Structure formats: C-alpha cells, structure tokens
Amino acid sequence: MLRIYTRISRVLFTSLLATAATSPIVLAQGLGSSPYSALGIGELYPTGNATNIGMGGIGISNSSPFYLNLQNPALLGSRPPYTVFEVGLVGQSKTLSQSIGNETQVQRDFGGNLGYLALAFPANSRWSMSLSLRPYTFVNYNITQASIVQLGQSVAEYNYSGRGGLNKASFATGYRLLKTVFVGVEASFLFGNITNSSDSRVIINQLGVGPQDTRVNRLSRANYSDIVWKLGAAWRPKINDTWTVNLGATYDPSTRVKGSETQIYQQTTLAGLNLGPADTLLNNSTGRTTLPQQMNFGVSIERANRLLVGVDVGFQQWGKYRTINDQLGDLVDGMTVATGLEYTPKPTSNKYADLITYRAGFQYNKLPYQVKGTQINDINGSLGLSLPVGAYYVNHVTLSLVVGQRGVLSTSQIREQYVRIALGFSLTDRWFRKPVID
C-alpha cells in the first residue's frame, strides 16, 4: 500500500510542476493592478480555499470532512479516510482613487487567476497527506509621475512598472498524535520571478522628435527558487457529545530564499531605438532574500458539522524582510484578525435545502506597507455558501464574496475598494477499497 501511495505522490507532484511550468494561468498573474505590489515580493494571495475566504479567511483551528484545509497542515490528521480533490478560481474587481490637488483621480481594474489546485488522501486512519499548487504573491503595477525641473522650463517624467510573482508547489502531511492532538508539516517549493522596470526623461520637445528627447531605462529581473517550511499543531477536545473546542497554531520560520538578479541600464529614443550598447549592472548575481517568520493562532467552537464560530490572529514580521541584495525592504510588521461562522441547517438530512452551507466573516489587516509614516489598513467582510452536488451530496460547489477597502482617500495614500469572488469545486471519493467477495 505504501508503494502505491509513493508512486501516486510522485506522479501527481510531477504533474503539478509540469502544469506550473507550461500553463500561464497558474503562474502569478495577479488580481489586478495595485501600486502596493511594488513593495517587497508583491502582494500576498489569500492562503485559504474558497470555503475559508467566505468566512473571513479563518482556518487555523477549524476543518471539515468535505473540504481541504490549506492553512494548517496538522488538520490533515483529523480528516476521514477519503480522498478530496479541489480547484479554486479567484477574481477581483477594484477601484483605485487618489486625491491630487482639488481633483480625485479614479482607475478601475479587474484581474483573475487560478487560486489553488489541491489533492489530499489518507495513508492510514491516523495519517493523511496533500499536494497543492497555488500562487503565493503577485506584482502588477504601472505608475507615472511628473515634476518640474530647471526653474519651470521643463518637465521630468518618471515611469515605474512591475510584473510577475511567486508560486508554491507544496507537500503537506498531518498526523493524529493522540486522540485529540494533531501535528503537521508542510514543505513548499517556492519559485517564480519578478520584473521591475523604471525609466525617466526630461520633456524638452513636446513632439518627442528632437535629439534631446532621450529616455533612460533600468530593468531589474529577479528569479527565486527554494524550499520553505510551515509547522502546524491542533488540539480538538470535546466538551460533550455535540460540542467541540478547536485550538490551532502554525509557524512559518524565517527563510533565506535563494535567488539571482539581473539589472540592465539602457538609453533609448522615445520610439525605443537604442542609443548605445546596454550596460549590464548585474548579470545573474546570486543572493538570498529573507522572508520573515509568521505565526498564526486560531480558536473555534463547533457543533457536529452544523455550526462553527471561530477567530484567527496572525503576526508577520515583515520589518525583518531583506531584498536579494540583503537590503532593507521598506516594510513594517503586519497583523491579521479574522472572525467567521459556518452554518449547515441539518447535515444528516436527506433534503437538499438542509445540506446547503452558509458562511459569513470579517477581517482586519495591518498591511506591511507604510506611506509617509502611516501604515496601510485593509478591512473586509465576506459571505459564502456551498451547494452539495453529485451522488450522496458529498461533492460541493462553493461561492464566496468579499467586499473591502485598503488605504484611505488622500494625497499620500491610494484607496483601493475591491470586490473579490472565489469559486471552488470539491470532489470527494474513497480510494483503495478492498473488494469484498461473497
């Protein structure tokens, strides 16, 4: 039996990596333009699946026999002996606003991506494993600035843009150590690249055809690939026959991720013609970027798959982030507080309406971004539901909606108002059943 699981794990893991290398949708394409993604390694994707997103993102202490938990590997040990395959899609529409002078400039944008692809299966009655592929961060911004130079005689134009992001291919395992105690670990291959470019010119000839109209370009491309770890633990004691208290915690240790960087300096005309050979400042220069430690804690109370209420708290030491050149990353420590609930009217009923699961949640984030001494906040609320489908109603289609805002409308901050939609599919089956011969 172990040989079968080993073979399946190798085949599936190879398939996930092949998909990551060949399919552009699973690479970090982003959830629309965001100026804040210019900082650090970009914006972080939601860590949970569609069910977690619909209940404020909580998932450190709570799990379900019908859905995967991608946030705490220890909770894999609490799963029943069924195989679950999940895929999720995430889309986001946002409105960006900023006050400039007496006017408010507005930009609308939309982006979508594969949220996750995951498979979990049991090794025995106390031990389960999972494989997953999901985006980790995304970078997507395009900023233009202008300033007066030479005592008002000319205008300097600056353009900044960035694309790319990081992805995670993960193997996780959870084990039931005692009757109500679970431990787990996740090993992830973190990979991807981020390209940042900037250019500047002094506008002397408005037609852009004079010899003075020269653009100075600088391109930086960083590639990352390394193994990162996550540790998890959970305690799920019963209060009585119907109620259970769940406690969970995860720890992501600080990791020095290997990478390489290339930087190129080039002078061009406005039409893009080179005015000379490019100057390579760095050519695949190797280094390590420091991802800081992160800690998450969760507590929830549930009643036999019918009602669950929980709270998660997370701390991220992004102030200790270092770039691939071991420079400070202009980030600050972050914090997350989330609360959510999940309700299924009658989980043992045969009526379809009684098996629909409803969710709601709230999340408050102190983001690692700081603008002129003010830390950016993100506040959002969420709703979700899961519709059972298929034989015995053990498969589910999940839809979650998140509405939120980050930043405030001012001359120094950019306000982002967003609507995020997550669509998830969960398929459950039992593998390796021994045939019964009468």
Task: Tell how strand 294-303 and strand 357-371 pair up.
Answer: unpaired
Amino acid, single-letter form, for residue 356: I
pLDDT of 28 higher than 50: no
108-140 pLDDT, tens digit per residue, is 989 899 999 999 999 988 999 999 999 999 999
Residue range 374-403: mean pLDDT, rounded: 94
The answer for residues whose C-beta is within 8 angstroms of residue 278's C-beta and 6 or more apart is 264, 265, 266
> Among 62-66, 165-169, 249-253, 318-322, where is mean pLDDT lowest?
62-66
Amino acid, single-letter form, for residue 118: A
Q: Are 386 and 49 in contact (CB under 8 A)?
A: no
- Per-residue confidence (pLDDT) for residue 373, from 0 to 100: 85
Report the candidate in 400, 375, 372 with the shortest Cα–Cα distance to residue 386: 400
> Among 95-99, 192-196, 230-234, 296-300, where is mean pLDDT lowest?
95-99
> Among 38-42, 65-69, 214-218, where is mean pLDDT lowest?
214-218
Q: Are 196 and 217 in contact (CB under 8 A)?
A: no
438 vs 433: CA distance, rounded Å: 15
Residue range 391-395: mean pLDDT, rounded: 86
430 vs 438: CA distance, rounded Å: 21
Banded model confidence at residue 436, pLDDT cuts 50, 70, 90: low
235-259 pLDDT, tens digit per residue, is 999 999 899 999 999 999 999 999 9
Banded model confidence at residue 437, pLDDT cuts 50, 70, 90: low
Amino acid, single-letter form, for residue 92: Q
- Per-residue confidence (pLDDT) for residue 10, from 0 to 100: 43
337 vs 341: CA distance, rounded Å: 14
Q: Are 65 and 80 in contact (CB under 8 A)?
A: yes
**Dihedral in degrees, nearest 10, Cα atoms 429, 435, 437, 438:** -20
181 vs 43: CA distance, rounded Å: 34
User: Which residue reads 């787990």 in tokens?
Assistant: 184
Phi and psi at 272, nearest 5°, equal 95, 5
pLDDT of 348 higher than 70: yes
- Per-residue confidence (pLDDT) for residue 100, from 0 to 100: 79
Which residues share a beta bridge with 388?
396
- Per-residue confidence (pLDDT) for residue 322, from 0 to 100: 94
- Per-residue confidence (pLDDT) for residue 27, from 0 to 100: 40
Banded model confidence at residue 213, pLDDT cuts 50, 70, 90: low
pLDDT of 155 higher than 70: yes
- Per-residue confidence (pLDDT) for residue 192, from 0 to 100: 95
418: left (phi over 0), alpha (psi -120 to 50) or beta: beta
- Per-residue confidence (pLDDT) for residue 31, from 0 to 100: 84
Residue 10, classed as helix, strand or coil, is helix
Report the candidate in 124, 128, 122, 238 with the shortest Cα–Cα distance to residue 179: 238
- Per-residue confidence (pLDDT) for residue 358, from 0 to 100: 97
206 vs 48: CA distance, rounded Å: 50
- Per-residue confidence (pLDDT) for residue 191, from 0 to 100: 96
